[in-house]
Structure 1
Amino acid sequence: MNVKMEKKMKCVLILLLCCHAASPVKHSLKYFFTESPGAQSIPEFVAVAIVDDVQIGDSNSVREATPKKDWIKFFEDHPQHLQWYSLQSHDSHHFFKATIETLRQRLNQTEGVHILQRMKGCEWDDETGEINGYDQYGYDREDFLAYDLKTLTWIAPKPHAVLTKMRFDAHEHQFESNKNFLVYQCPDFLKEYLRYGKRFLQTAVLPSVSLLQKSSSSPVSCHATGFYPDRGLMFWRKDGEELHEGVDPGEILPNNDGTFQLSVDLKLSSVTPEDWERYDCVFQLFGANEYIITKLDKTLIRTNWGKPAHITATVVVLAIILTAAVAAVAAVAVIAYKRKKAPANASEQSETLNPQT
């Protein structure tokens, strides 16, 4: 068994092959199907349904589709959704297994674990009404096929995918069915899920925002952490106008608790000392109607090489108080020691002067 490949497979279930970045006004419904025959520590087949990056259900090769806790009530009231999902999972499992065997023979692959994935779904812009459907395959963590809704044909980015593309294109009766799902059925599903899950799908959590700097010559980083969902936007402004030069935007990264973080750096070489007050950092989160604005202020910057003035002053005061407390304790200890020694000295003098006692 290829241990290295199996470790990669564990990541594949989370970092799936093809992910679409959603803009702040877009909602998405995605179905991920993954087949990996030969892997021992994970199921041979896994199907996952995700709405706005929140998993609503899953299934594998040995059981029917199972909704997540928050979605049990919905699928009980809409059993046709669960039946459709289960049927899709069952058919995909057998189709994927046969396709992997075909690809292994075509590419002369005889050993190791091989991975076939499919992601199909849709995005819906709730402001413009625009709908975008997609259907994509990946093999061994590389793009394999992508469905083109405009031409109703499959696109093969790799030479070894051409034969599969031709075989898929030959099934013309599947084109209308696939188009109908991506353009009509999938958006209808998505809107139903959004209506039901609005209470917990769109609960926005604002972050804490800090100004960070590694050294006096480093850029100032505006860092937001703890926000949800992962649809945050952050940028630097000067006089209320967004800056595009002298800034280095980062990527949205996950935290261990399910929230997210984001940073954007500002190069101080482009900022004159007298202009600091003209700069600020803005964070905006989809689902929240407020902005978080942080002024470029030296006293707010957290660094590894120095502390803000108010923190330094606090440390000095605490040091003075601690010194005074130590001195007081020492004085009390000396007095107590002298008092303890006084009776003993008096007794010694008495014994010398009056030996008969």
Structure 2
Amino acid sequence: MGVGLAPVALLLCAVCAPALGDKHSLFYIYTSLSKNVDLPGIYDFTAMGLLDDSEIDYYNSKDQMKIPRQDWMREKMQEDYWEKGTQSRKSKEQWFRVNVDILMQRMRHNQTDLHVLQWRHGCEVDDKNGKMKYLSGIDEYSYDGSEFLSFDDENMRWVAPVPAAEPTKRKWDNVTILNQYTKGYLERECVDWLTKFMEYGQESLRNHSPPDVYVFAKKSQTSSDKLTLTCLATGFYPKDLKMRLRRFTTSLPDHLLTSSGVRPNGDGTYQLRKSVDIQKEDTAGYDCYVTHSTLQEPVTKEWDGSCKDCRMGIIVSFVGGFFLVVIVVVVVLVLRHKGMICWRSDGETNGDINGPVSYNQVSMECDEMNSASGVEG
């Protein structure tokens, strides 16, 4: 079964989508392959934590250690946090190995093809004056790049979009305490961890959070008689930033602009880029206007009308943790093109691997599948 370019683009856009307002998110993503793939940097099992799309911790089946991806995580979290997290992810790794095989049998897929099981879970909050308000939670599994099972937080039940997921839905819905615990984690415990991580991260970013703003032009890729004028703001934190491309102080309409969306940099800061195509001879009066919470007054950068900075090295599209997320998505889809993929998404919780309820107690398919979502922050 092949995968076209459209699904790849949609997935990448989903990862790149900007967060609006003062929203923040904490998600954990686990990915397991049904067999070893001889590709550099691709492992049978990986797990990562993402705070506002920036990678904060990482684990793979080769090194088998949960490690920090941000300096502030390394400095703030105690050693036992990483020890417990490592044990939890080792447990999940074993669970995934078992369940990839079981789902392959259920789907009647052969052992020669490659399959991927992925699990994502976490929460999104609204930050108002430092007080986090729960907005939504996600606990979902995907198989071969398609949705397999998800948790309906409002109604506290599992949703099976495909017939093959029905046995799991029925089994898990019959375990009331599991659904209660899942809802409690998404709405409370996840929010608590997100709040703590945000406090740690903000403290480390205080000295380098204002945006650096650049405006430059290059030849348009769509028309030889046009230039693409771009405004780039990078290195800012928090991620809420407003940018306008203007001519003679009048903002250009949004339908004429192309936006990258807010993207994470590798150091925990963010970047945003907006572009517009203009006529080559139309070089007067353009500027970039940026407002951000760290600025006492807006930044205005005027374009000098030249194209000398078309290839400036400051333009970074994907770096740090975001780069790794995109790599995982692309590789998984490429591998799916060669074989098949099994994808399940759920999340981590606090730092204790023995929570009040463990998915180890609940099978995904009758008594054959034992879930391993231990409690982890």
Q: Place the TM-score, normalised by the shorter chain, in its bin.
A: 0.5 to 0.7
CA distance in 1, matches of 2:46, 2:139: 17
Match of residue 264, structure 1, among 275, 284, 290: 275
**1:131-280 maps to which residues of 2 (within 5 A)?**
131=134, 132-201=136-205, 203-204=208-209, 205-212=211-218, 214=220, 217-218=225-226, 220-224=228-232, 226-228=234-236, 232-237=241-246, 242-244=251-253, 247-252=256-261, 260=271, 262-265=273-276, 277=285, 280=287
Once the two structures are TM-superposed, the CA of residue 220 in structure 1 deviates from its matched residue by: 4.8
Shift of 1:24: 4.5
What TM-score, normalized to structure 1? 0.64
Q: What SS is found at the alignment partner of 1:178?
A: helix
Give the unaligned 5+ runs of structure 1: 6-10, 305-357
CA RMSD in angstroms comes to 4.2
Partner of 1:66: 67
CA displacement, residues 18-73 of structure 1 (integer Å, 9 cap, x when unaligned)? 67742241222221111113124433222212223333322234634233462233
> Alignment partner of 1:86: what SS?
helix
Please give the alpha-carbon distance, in whole angstroms, between the structure 2 residues aligned to 1:163 and 1:28. Answer: 31
Q: TM-score, normalised by structure 2?
A: 0.61
Q: Compare CA radii of gyration and give the structure with the larger one.
A: 1
1:46 aligns with 2:40: no
**CA contact under 8 A between 1:207 and 1:227: conserved in structure 2?**
no
CA distance in 1, matches of 2:87, 2:122: 16
Aligned residue type for 2:107: L
Given the superposition, is the C-alpha separation of residues 17 and 139 from structure 1 closer, same or farther in structure 2, using an over 3 Å criterion?
A: farther
Q: Which residue of 1 aligns with 2:133?
A: 130
Q: Which of the two has greater helix per residue?
A: 1
Return 66-75 or 141-150, whichever deviates more. 66-75
Aligned to 2:117: 116
Q: Distance in 1 between matches of 2:94 and 2:170?
A: 20
The code of the aligned residue for 2:36 comes to A
Q: Secondary structure at the match of 2:115?
A: coil
Question: Where does structure 2 lack aligned partners over 5 or more consecutive residues?
Answer: 310-377
For the 8 Å contact 2:28–2:120, the answer to whether it is kept is: yes
User: When the two structures are aligned, how many residues end up with a matched partner?
Assistant: 287
Structure 1 pair 96–280 and aligned structure 2 pair: CA distance change class (3 A) = same
Q: Which has the higher contact order (CA 8 A, sep 6+)?
A: 2
Shift of the alpha carbon at 1:89?
1.8
Q: What is the deviation of 1:179? A: 1.2
How far did residue 242 of structure 1 move?
A: 4.6
Contact 2:284 2:305 in 1 (8 A): no
Task: Say whether residues 1:302 and 2:307 are aligned partners.
Answer: yes
